[in-house]
Amino acid sequence: MIDVDDSDDATQQVAPVWAVFGDLMSGLLGAFVLILVGVMVVQMDLVANLQSEIEKRRVEEQRRMALEQALAIPLASGRVTVSNGRIGISGNVLFPVNSDQLRPEGRLLLQSLVHPLRVYLGERNEMLMVSGFTDDKPIQGGNQRFADNLELSAQRALTVTRALIEEGMPSTQVFAAAFGAEQPVASNASENGRALNRRVEMAPVPRVSGAKTPPSPTPQ
């Protein structure tokens, strides 16, 4: 009679179980490591984005402060405002209603802006975008020079641009844009709101790639 060793059979049955368990644990460990690496990558991206946003806001704040410092005297007069890096001038200061003819006091105001803006733009290799805006009321009073508010805003922006150039702003540093009644800053339901919307804004913008750099302004 041949004896069979039951312990050997049991060992053979248990061994595959432990092998499967080991493979399972290895798989779980690998999955955990992948998840951990993924979480770390996401966190690093979040930190990098946060730092980038902080740096962006710091640069914008420095630009705002530098612009306000450059325009300290015109700002003190109350006829010029700076908001979000944009220089605002009421249309009533510059032009009569429905007209693109510059008032004498408006030209004097623009003249006071030329030198500080030349210095500011030259130090940063930027350009000045001059934008014209109107309220939403159709042009009235028998004025047939302008087809609509968009054309009026365009002519006003061009008038301001030409005046700046005539007062010493290099033509390579300034250009005009028109928005008509678009982008109001106040409600057109009241006269006060419409007066705020009739405006000219000037905003420093990055120079397009490949554009020639104008010579630095000569200190006066």
Cite the DSSP H helix spans in the chain. Answer: 6-70, 72-76, 91-94, 104-124, 149-166, 191-197
Q: Range with the lowest mean pLDDT among 91-95, 161-165, 211-215? A: 211-215
CB neighbours of residue 138 within 10 Å: 8
Mean pLDDT for 62-79 is 80
Q: Cα(46)–Cα(50) distance, rounded to whole angstroms?
A: 6
Mean pLDDT for 181-192 is 94
Q: What is the 3-class SS of 33-86, one letter each residue?
A: HHHHHHHHHHHHHHHHHHHHHHHHHHHHHHHHHHHHHHCHHHHHCCCEEEECCE
The fold for domain 72-206 equals 60s Ribosomal Protein L30; Chain: A; (3.30.1330)
Q: What is the pLDDT of residue 3?
A: 55
Mean pLDDT for 72-83 is 85
- In the predicted structure, residue 27 carries a pLDDT above the cut 50: yes
Q: What is the pLDDT of residue 217?
A: 45
Q: What is the pLDDT of residue 161?
A: 97
Confidence of residue 116 (pLDDT cuts 50, 70, 90): very high
> Which distant-in-sequence residues (6+ apart) come within 8 Å of 19 by Cβ?
none
Q: What is the pLDDT of residue 155?
A: 96
Task: Tell me the residue length of the chain.
Answer: 220
CB neighbours of residue 12 within 10 Å: 9
Mean pLDDT for 21-35 is 76
Confidence of residue 188 (pLDDT cuts 50, 70, 90): very high
- Looking at per-residue confidence, does 94 or 71 come out higher? 94
Q: What is the pLDDT of residue 143?
A: 53
Percent of the chain with pLDDT over 90: 45
Confidence of residue 113 (pLDDT cuts 50, 70, 90): very high
Tokens of 111: 């003249």
Percent of the chain with pLDDT over 70: 79
Give the pLDDT confidence of 136-186 residue by residue, as tens digits: 998 876 556 888 999 999 999 999 999 999 999 999 999 999 999 999 999
190 three-state secondary structure: coil
Give the pLDDT confidence of 46-65 residue by residue, as tens digits: 777 777 777 667 766 777 77
Mean pLDDT for 101-112 is 94
- Sign of the CA dihedral running 75, 155, 93, 172: positive
